[in-house]
Amino acid sequence: MSSRKSPSPAALATLYLFSATATAAETTPDAAAAMPQVTVVSERATEAYNPQQARGATRTDTPILEVPQSVRVITQQQLDDLGATRMADTVDFVSGIARLNDFGGTWDNYAIRGFSSTDMGFLVNGFPGARGYNPTRGTATVERFEFLKGPAGAVYGSSEPGGTINIVTKKPKFARHDVVEVSAGSSGLRRATLDSTGALARNVAYRLNVMAEEGNRRAAPLDNHRELVAPALTWVIDERTVLNWESEFLRVKTPLDRGLVNVRGALDLLPRDRVLNEPADGKMSLDSDTHQLTLEHTLTDTWRARAGASYKQSTFDGNYTEATSLAADNRTLNRQATWRQLPSRDVALQGELEGKFTAGGVAHTVLLGAEASRLWMNMEILRSANYPIDIYTPVYGKPAPALTTLTTSSDERQRVKAVFAQDQLSLNDQWKVLAGLRWDEYSQTMDNRVAKTYTTRKQSAVSPRAGLTYLPNAWSSLYVSAGKSFRGNNGTDIAGNAFDPQRSTSYEAGWKLQTRDQRLGATLAIYDITKTNVLTASDVPGYSVAAGEIRSTGFEADVNGQVDRHWRLTGNVAWMDARVTKDRTLAAGTRVANVPKVSAGVFALREDELPNGTRYGIGGGVNYAGDRSGNTADTYTLPAYTTVKLVSWWQVSKRARLSVDVHNLTNRMYYTASWGNLYVIPGPERSVVARLKIDL
């Protein structure tokens, strides 16, 4: 929606082709604003903590200052400063994000403004990235994380109303650049990465990211292994057309570690490293193969077209021993030996047309698009008879009962067809309007071979969004917005009919500020979200009705950027009141599990020069999470906690940089999240990690 003039298609292609001799800093502002995502524009944005654009918010190149929603971007610079190896290492530095059950450390699951992100919680380059079964997201291929607050239904369809995370991956560049990094930590961490990019021909560039890692989260028997190979190619076909292919092949071997148990609501009775499954179970295998293909074509100076396809195949299988209940003696943990197999396939197609024009004195940025996707998921679970263990004096290695009970055997298929339209109107330099609408047709079939049932449903939903932004000057904006979103409910009611989908309505208002040099920015936001048709118990035991309601209201503040030539800073604080407002079994006002009312974080780093001319950086971060409800019924509480980390680096030479980080400096015993009435997930103990990064 920027009023800046776009360069010609020939200029775009020329700039991209000759990026081998032009750095991102040398790219003109006009070119950076108009170039497609596969170009060097992302490099300019990631040089600081306060990027000016996040394409995921509107699917266009609209400046963040003009977007009527809260947007927080974790840039490559901040990933490096934090020493982040997982998406999980970044969420504490974004307001309104709470950690949820992570399924034994095998997937990413967060609450954004009080609502879980499990299914459509994150996108990868605008494609669905969280459907099916997914290993935890690493940072080896990540350029930046875009935390897009508020409902995303108008542009991305089925989603939770709290927000969506868009992961932007590293793109090929024509300038040759090779980086190797090795890490070692006191917790057994061993990690090595390679990031290589350059030109294969005058109009073809590549990027290759490779990663190998091993280590443990909280106890020696719980070590894990990760291997990643991620090749990518960019082909500038002509001055108007760019084709981009990206892929990731990830292999993970990890135990399914549910954590500890609470003893009738009492915590801190077990040491952090207590293992309650069987070390001899071996490791779960998580494999994920992803391909993305996008074609961008510039039609004219003001119109572009984009087509894309994504294919993701994943598997999740292995043996583990899972706790089921705590006996009356408060020390005998009932368990079952379990085997699980969870394969999935996800195919998505996208097409969109974007144009900029002026009509009646009003500048328009119009986006028209269509999507189609198909998801298949299979679940096969076998369980044994009871297999108890003493939680205080555990004895491992007893013969496990046979896996005799097939508790789950099902196939689920989901199909989505959608069309959407969005118009961003620039009434003048101060007033901007956004209006969008999306229609989705959602169909689902479920073949449950254990229950011997076959259900099918077809539903549709319309998701509108509208926002107004006022820019009183060049360094601030005020905005208000409203939007709706939906998410399908699984299962059927007592009559065998599909439930109506969950529907959400969100209202938000905020104030964005930045310094005149755009190096430091801040966002303050208030919101009110209501979600209806949440499943709750019916009058007939064993059945549900779509009659529940959850409401979340809150305030958020984020500040991030370069304070001066020495200091970089990011800070956040959130007050969030997420509660059940209607339910058949829970009292109105019951807190949503795992969501703190108050959370905050701050991270600062100082750079300077030593007398010998080499540079160094030293800093640290503090995170606070308030107390949280431990389960849906709010019968026990996870206590508040504060953690501290220290970071430091020394530029040993022009090409070598050595970093030493200390995580959980005070060795605080704390609990990041819980699952139901039984499991609590302890945070990792203090660890020291050394990293050596070499530019080849």
pLDDT digit string (tens) for 197-222? 999 999 999 999 999 999 876 666 67
Q: How many CB atoms lie within 10 A of CB 360?
A: 5
Per the domain annotation, does 36 fall within a domain?
Answer: no
Residue 594 belongs to a domain? yes
| Residues of the domain holding 368 | 55-283+310-695
Rounded to 10 degrees, the C-alpha dihedral 252/257/259/260 comes to: -170
Amino acid in position 336:
Q
* pLDDT tens digit sequence for 216-273: 766 666 788 999 999 999 999 999 999 999 999 999 999 888 889 999 989 989 999 8
Other CB atoms within 10 Å distance of the CB of residue 610: 10
β partners of residue 317:
285, 341
pLDDT band, very low/low/confident/very high, at 539 (cuts 50, 70, 90): low
Return contacts of 605-611, CB within 8 angstroms, 24+ apart: 605/81, 605/567, 605/568, 605/569, 605/647, 606/566, 606/567, 607/566, 607/567, 607/568, 608/566
- Report if residue 561 sits inside a domain: yes
Residue 246 sits in a domain whose CATH number is: 2.40.170.20
| Average pLDDT of span 440-453 | 90
Q: Which two tokens stand for residue 101?
A: 């059950």
Q: Tell me how far apart the alpha carbons of residues 51 and 58 are, in angstroms, rounded to a whole number.
A: 15
Is residue 288 situated within a structural domain?
no
Question: pLDDT above 90 covers what percent of the chain?
Answer: 70
Element (H, E) at 111: strand 110-112
Tell me, yes or no, if the pTM score tops 0.95: no
485/536 Cα distance (integer angstroms): 20
The DSSP output letter for 458 is E
Phi-psi region of 43 (alpha: psi -120 to 50; beta: other; left: phi over 0): alpha
Can you tell me which residue has the tokens 């959980």? 664
* Interacting residues of 428 by C-beta distance below 8 A, sequence separation 6+: none
Q: pLDDT at position 221, please? A: 65
Query: Could you tell me the maximum CA-CA distance found in the chain, to the nearest angstrom?
Result: 79
Higher pLDDT, residue 458 or 648: 648
Q: Is the pLDDT of residue 620 over 70?
A: yes
Residue 109 has pLDDT above 50, yes or no: yes
* Structure token digits, residue 44: 């300019």
- Residue 242 is assigned to a structural domain of this protein: yes
Q: Could you tell me which residues come within 8 angstroms of residue 473 by beta carbon, excluding any fewer than 6 positions away?
A: none
**Interval 381-439: pLDDT, tens:** 999 999 999 999 999 999 889 999 999 999 999 999 999 999 999 999 999 999 999 99
Residue 130 identity (one-letter amino acid) = A
Model confidence band, residue 308 (pLDDT cutoffs 50, 70, 90): very high
**Are 339 and 403 spatial neighbours (Cβ–Cβ below 8 Å)?**
yes
- Tens digit of pLDDT for each residue in 41-71? 333 433 579 999 888 889 999 999 999 999 9
**Which 3 state secondary structure label does DSSP give 87?**
helix
Lowest-confidence segment of 438-447, 452-461, 556-565 by average pLDDT: 452-461
Q: Is residue 302 part of a domain?
A: no
550, 487 Cβ separation under 8 angstroms: no
When mean pLDDT is compared over 152-166, 208-222, 292-306, the highest value belongs to: 292-306
441, 527, 466: which is closest to 158 by C-alpha?
A: 441
In the structure, how many helices (H) and strands (E) does the chain have?
A: 5, 37
Q: Count Cβ neighbours within 10 Å for each residue of 177-192 and write b for 16 or more, e otherwise.
A: eeeebebebebebebe
The pLDDT assigned to 540 comes to: 61
Question: CB–CB of 343/128 below 8 Å?
Answer: no
CA angle 21, 23, 28 (to 5 degrees): 110
In-domain check, residue 432: yes
The overall average pLDDT reported for the chain is 88
Does 19 score more than 70 pLDDT?
no
Which residues are 567's β-sheet partners? 606
Instruction: Provide the number of structural domains found in the chain.
Output: 1
Question: Looking at the domain assignment, is residue 40 inside a domain?
Answer: no
